[in-house]
Structure 1
Amino acid sequence: MALSLFLAIFVSCEEDNSKDSPLTNFVGLQAFANVEIAAGTSSTVEGKVYASNTSTSDRTFTLIVDETTTTIDAENYTVPTTVTIPAGSREGSFQVAITAIDLGTSGKEIHIGLAIQADTNMAVVSDIGALNVLDGAASTQFVIKASELCTLNKVLIEISTDSYGSETTWELYDQDLNIVANGMSIR
């Protein structure tokens, strides 16, 4: 017993190089937010940015809207150009304003990424453009799903499938035979 304890204590004598890892100084975004907005009105959604470490000075990062995956019309939302993490904190926040025009009850999305200047000595967790990528370290994008507030009865559709659920599709029609909801590839 004494011999095995002695070996466990002295086996791990290597130098700790964890400060050299890119995972020790990174920044990423909150992953997801849902919001329902009454038709023709506006709402504000708070987004968060998180850093792995604190700093003695404020850190400012650029917010980027991914226009290739964003489905809300650009004139119906406002995203600030930057977000700041205050000195001594590991978290900052920003406000996204959305106007409910043509959102539908299924909703539309805004995809927001993050960029930083090279001189900040931080790695960015992001998918957008040619930014640095740290897969799995934090959220790659902040996705806001905004939908029109449904003032009618909501419906939950539950479909039980066999092993081939990915081959299943469904459609829901109103009284005039217009499709009001549909889905594909049930897992």
Structure 2
Amino acid sequence: MKKNHFFILLFLSLFIVSCSEETPTPTNINYISFQASDYSFGVDIGAENTRTVKVYTANVSDSDRTFNIKVDTDATTADATAYTVPETLTVPAGKNLGELNVNIKDISIGDGKKLVLYIENTDDLLTGGKITLNISRICPENEVVLKIAFDSYPEEVSWTLKDSSGTIVEESKAGAYDGMTGETEKKFCLTDGTYTFEILDVYSDGAGAYSLSYNGGYIVNSDGTYGAGESTTFTVQK
């Protein structure tokens, strides 16, 4: 029995040594990655902003290292004239952090655009995933956010937003969401005042959950069982 214990312990010792020799430690891997997969990038209305995206390496070198930065044009929806992205990124000697300064102008942002970046692979470099910069305009007034989760008939839903005088501020007519799935988001930048939001369904059977939020709370949060429609009056003030 003692001999069996001896051989078992010997086997485990050899196994552990073998694993430690074959598995490289993270600091030996030439690996680089963006700080996250998503990044919120706000742009002032009628202006431009520069923000810093961080990139980390798994190891530290005694010399500067330069990496190529690419734009995924297939996944990017931002206007090509709206953004400026450096072609390279340098991680200084003795550091594992590099900074990429991206500039975006308020050009055709509308309800939001995306700029997707990636680090170019090389034979001796492992890279993390892409980063998506979610671009939106910064509202200097009161930002109200509408979210709609579509049911099987998104073309049936329509809505209007009116000010206190009854003037339409924004609207979406029936059929505008035809063919869409999942969820949509719309941001309103409203001056101080009272507004009425009305949502309608063509066939009077509700058209998916929706919510209006402002200043960290819900104005309305509906499960979608509103029949032909419903309206909500609310006031915003900075």
Q: TM-score, normalised by structure 1?
A: 0.70
**2-structure distance, mates of 1:158, 1:110:** 22
Distance 1:179 1:38, change over 3 A: farther
**Which runs of structure 2 are paired with 1:52-131 in the superposition (5 Å)?**
52-104=58-110, 106-118=111-123, 121-123=124-126, 125=127
**2-structure distance, mates of 1:171, 1:155:** 18
Structure 1: runs of 5+ lacking an equivalent: 126-137
**2-structure distance, mates of 1:24, 1:98:** 33
**2-structure distance, mates of 1:158, 1:102:** 21
Alignment match, 2:226? none
Q: Structure 1: which amino acid aligns with 2:160?
A: Y
Q: Structure 2: which amino acid aligns with 1:86?
A: P
Check if 1:185 corresponds to 2:172: no
Q: Structure 2: which amino acid aligns with 1:57?
A: S
Check if 1:148 corresponds to 2:154: no
Distance 1:43 1:19, change over 3 A: same
* 8 Å Cα contact 1:39-1:101 kept in structure 2: no
**2-structure distance, mates of 1:70, 1:153:** 28
Structure 1 residue 157 displacement after superposition: 4.5
Alignment match, 2:164? none
Q: TM-score, normalised by structure 2?
A: 0.57
**1-structure distance, mates of 2:33, 2:91:** 12
Distance 1:158 1:82, change over 3 A: closer
- Segments of 4+ moved more than 6 angstroms: 180-183
- After superposition, the C-alpha distances for 1:108-138 in whole angstroms (9 at most, x for unaligned) are 11111111554xx322x2xxxxxxxxxxxx3
**2-structure distance, mates of 1:56, 1:171:** 60
Instruction: Say which SS state the counterpart of residue 7 (structure 1) adopts.
Output: helix
**2-structure distance, mates of 1:17, 1:24:** 13
Q: Which has the higher contact order (CA 8 A, sep 6+)?
A: 1
Q: Structure 2: which amino acid aligns with 1:154?
A: E
Q: Which has the higher strand share?
A: 2
Instruction: Say which SS state the counterpart of residue 43 (structure 1) adopts.
Output: strand
User: Quick check: which has more Rg, 1 or 2?
Assistant: 2
Q: Structure 1: which amino acid aligns with 2:117?
A: I
Structure 1 residue 32 displacement after superposition: 2.2
**2-structure distance, mates of 1:61, 1:122:** 10
Instruction: Say which SS state the counterpart of residue 12 (structure 1) adopts.
Output: helix
**2-structure distance, mates of 1:50, 1:73:** 28
Instruction: Say which SS state the counterpart of residue 109 (structure 2) adopts.
Output: coil
**2-structure distance, mates of 1:7, 1:144:** 53
* 8 Å Cα contact 1:69-1:111 kept in structure 2: yes
Instruction: Say which SS state the counterpart of residue 155 (structure 1) adopts.
Output: strand
Structure 2: runs of 5+ lacking an equivalent: 162-167, 184-208, 210-238
Q: Tell me how large the CA RMSD over aligned residues is.
A: 3.5
Q: Percent identity?
A: 27
Structure 1 residue 76 displacement after superposition: 1.0
